[in-house]
Amino acid sequence: MTTELLQRVRVIDPVSGTDQIADVLITDGDIQAVTSHISDISPNTQIRDCQGLVLGPGLVDLYSHSGEPGFEERETLSSLLQAAAAGGFTRINILPDTSPTIDNPALVAQLQKGGGEKISPHLHLWGAMTLDIAGLQLTELADLANAGVVGFTDGSPWENLGLVRRVLEYLQPLDKPVAFWPSDRQLSLNGVMREGAEAIRLGLPPIPASAETSAIAALLELVAATGNTRVHIMRVSTARSVDLIAAAKNAGLPITASTTWMHLLLDTKSVKSYHTSLRLNPPLGNPTDLAALRVAVRTGVIDAIAIDHAPYTYEEKVQAFAEAPPGAIGLELALPLLWQHLVETGEFTAVELWRSLSTRPAECLKQQPSAVAPHQKAELTLFDPQQNWKVERQNLYTLSNNTPWYGQQLQGRVVQTWC
């Protein structure tokens, strides 16, 4: 029997909405007590002074990319899971855009074994909606659902609204969410940056906000017409999108939504560095977009913050800004940076941030959220908001370095996770 006592730790529990200093007793992976003071303990209890540390439910990442299978030089499942644990994530959900694509039960069963770590985050898989490159042939949705996928997505913009409607109809009896990334490719064309004054100043091809909002409007019309399939809207990045989603939720449509962590921290002004890790898709928004996204997360219009961890090799990212593949790593960086820029500044409460990274992502997937409460499994993250560290190769578990914070000092780091 292993018993741990965390003394004087700051406990953040979004399920109960509490933020308190308490002692937490954990025995063999179960939370035994959370109270102001615990003195009645067994002689072999491991006592840990956690004054100044923050304890909350394990973080849940809605969607991220794995290099394995197919691109193991970017990331293996083992390195991905280690990076997730180091970043405080106890559940991670992998997009199906691997090579081969996660579109059959055999591959699902193979990948569900994870990276072979003894203690690692719970690995869940999104199943692909379509089989072919053109995205016109549906996968065997029922077989994938029975194999245990968490939901369905292609993780890329759709080409055919008729197919989207069919997916919404076919998935109704399966009770699995489907995630869509709304982006009109005809409006996006070869754009790499949000349309506006900064794009003109930097000479980069623009993407209008309407590329996203027109696609969201079309998707919401189909959701309203087809019934009760649960739809998740991925990668929301514009202020107008927030308005459309709020109106749809007020009308009772069965939707949830997420934005990515970098869209809450940076806007188009950051792109002046031409750092290719700021080449994202959707692109970083204008300052008004960033402000609207922050308010939407706090108020629940946007349910969750996703990491959308996208590892690439050094060679892939060392190109001209417009030629580099879009995406950045984030599993080990998101919590420290979000805490530093949102909680420490007073814009978010600790409960608001933790809720959007833990309980709400779980609820989007109809999973039971973890809680810091007696008689619950210890699925927890212990975070030191004051620890300083440098983002460099020897301090990262991920195999890739594509982040604009590489080489910089950060404040705040995860100390331990209980999976």
Residue 192 structure tokens = 């790499």
Q: Can you give the residue ranges of every domain in the chain? A: 3-54+376-387+407-418, 58-364
Q: Are 77 and 34 in contact (CB under 8 A)?
A: no
Residues 6+ apart with CB under 8 A from 387: 411, 412, 413, 415
**Alpha helices, H only, 57-101:** 77-86
pLDDT at residue 348, rounded to an integer: 98
Per-residue pLDDT at 405: 98
What parts of the chain have a pLDDT lower than 50?
A: none
Strands (E), 14-88: 18-27, 30-35, 46-49, 54-57, 59-64
Task: Write down the pTM of the prediction.
Answer: 0.96
pLDDT for 254 equals: 97
Which residues contact residue 284 at a Cβ distance below 8 angstroms, ignoring those fewer than 6 apart?
193, 194, 237, 262, 263, 266, 267, 268, 270, 271, 278, 290
d(CA 279, CA 44): 52
- Please measure the distance between the N-terminal and C-terminal CA atoms of the chain and give it in whole angstroms: 17
User: Which residue type does 60 have?
Assistant: V
Strand partners, 21: 10
Q: State the DSSP H helix or E strand holding residue 258, giving kind and residue range, or none if neither.
A: strand 255-260
Assigned CATH topology for domain 3-54+376-387+407-418: Urease, subunit C; domain 1 (2.30.40)
DSSP 95: -
Residue 332 to residue 107: CA distance in whole angstroms: 27
Residue carrying structure tokens 């290719």:
276
- How much is the pLDDT for 351? 98
Q: Does the active-site annotation cover 308?
A: yes
* Identified catalytic residue from 23, 154, 289, 308: 308
- Inter-residue contact 394 to 93 (CB < 8 Å): no
Q: Are 89 and 417 in contact (CB under 8 A)?
A: yes
Supply the DSSP string of 153-176, one letter for each residue: --SS--S-HHHHHHHHHHTGGGT-
> Which pLDDT score is estimated for 389?
98
Q: Which CATH class is domain 58-364?
A: alpha beta
Q: For position 1, what pLDDT does the model report?
A: 75
